[in-house]
Amino acid sequence: MKIFLVVLAMFVTALISANAAALNLFACEPEWGALAQELGGDRLSIYVATNAMQDPHQVQARPSLLAQARRANLMVCSGAELEAAWLPVVLRQAGNAAIQPGRSGYFEAASYVQRLGVATLLNRAAGDIHASGNPHIQTDPRNIARIAAALAQRLAEVDPANAEFYQTRYRDFATRWEVAIARWEKQATPLRGVVVVAHHSYFVYLDNWLGLKTVAQLEPKPGVQPTSAHLAGVQELLQRQPARMILRAPYNSERPSEWLSERAKIPAVMLPGTVGGSDQAKDLFGLFDDTVQRLLAALK
């Protein structure tokens, strides 16, 4: 009986302390964790569910995600079906009313940007396409700016006591971000109109921002692994329409792009894609600094 009481007391203490902590923010992807860090600083306790090395389409609803979603006050996710494989399962099993879609505790970043690549023909014969458009919205910093405004507003809504704090930090971030965007755009002028090949349709928004032109993808269909027949086809295409480089995300295997790089004699470039995707991409600023630098280096 005594042991039981001790265990119960420990349990209650754990419960109370869990509730008393800072606002628990569950970021589905590292870029949203980094953005929340910019806006919320130490007022937030941030859990990042996935890392840059993980294929975001292939994540499982592992036990730790359930445990963290149970504790979360705010979920910040890309949306546009990027997390379709695991997030619905997590939301349903978390026993947490606050984070259900439609509630203020559920923030879908893709809602706040103009999505590209919205499929007009919805047929799985076209591969793993997303009905609501390409979900890799974080590769354009102008999207980050829009999402930052919306997220600051949402943080204030979920945690009104710190509303002013979030707003101040947002204004500071937005100013620095505007300056940085101008800098990146200036640096990236030589990239305008540059023809590239991409492993997966990951950099659609980056293309749109910097004016890169993707002429081919290493995946025959989105989400389908590159085949040697398809790669040979891409190589042939490049003879007619030369490209300057081959882009891939950190979670893509380097083998297909290395194979093509050797034959087409153009550099294979790994872009960080998200925060943590490279040593330099420690935060959002580092992410785009590094992205632009890697692209420019490949152009030389």
The helix (H) or strand (E) run that includes residue 197 is strand 195-198
Per CB under 8 A, which of residues 169..208 are in contact with another protein? none
> 69: how many CB neighbours lie within 10 A of its CB?
25
| Residue 63 is a binding residue for another protein (CB under 8 A) | yes
Backbone angles phi, psi at 119, to 5 degrees: -65, 130
**Residue 17 beta carbon to another protein: minimum distance, rounded to whole angstroms:** 10
Nearer to another protein, 6 or 126 (CB): 126
Neighbours of 187 (CB within 10 A): 16
Question: If binding is defined by CB under 8 A, does position 84 make contact with another protein?
Answer: yes
Of 144-152, 228-236, 277-285, 287-295, which segment contacts another protein by CB under 8 A? 144-152
- Say if residue 33 is exposed, middle or buried (CB neighbours under 10 Å; 0-12, 13-18, 19+): buried
Tell me whether residue 160 is exposed, middle or buried, using C-beta atoms within 10 angstroms of its C-beta: 0 to 12, 13 to 18, 19 or more: exposed
Other beta carbons within 10 Å of 263: 14
Q: Which residue from 32, 202, 251, 288 is in contact with another protein, where contact means CB under 8 A?
A: 251
- For residues 280 and 34, give the distance between their C-alpha atoms in angstroms, rounded to a whole number: 14
**Smallest gap from residue 230 Cβ to another protein (A):** 13
| Contact call for residue 91 and another protein (CB under 8 A) | yes
Which residue from 57, 45, 50 is spatially nearest to 28, judged by alpha carbons? 50
User: 26 or 292: whose CB is closer to another protein?
Assistant: 26
- CA distances in angstroms from 8 to 13, 19, 95, listed in the order given: 9, 17, 21
Q: How far is the CB of 37 from another protein (least distance, A)?
A: 19
Q: Among 43, 112, 163, 282, which residue sits at the site for another protein (rule: CB under 8 A)?
A: 112
Binding part of the chain for another protein, among 26-34, 143-151, 258-266, 282-290 by CB under 8 A, reads 143-151
Q: Which residues bind another protein (CB under 8 A)?
A: 14-15, 18-19, 50-51, 53-55, 57-64, 66-68, 70-71, 79-81, 84-86, 88-89, 91-98, 100-102, 108, 110-112, 115, 124, 127-128, 130-132, 146, 149-150, 153-154, 223-225, 251, 253
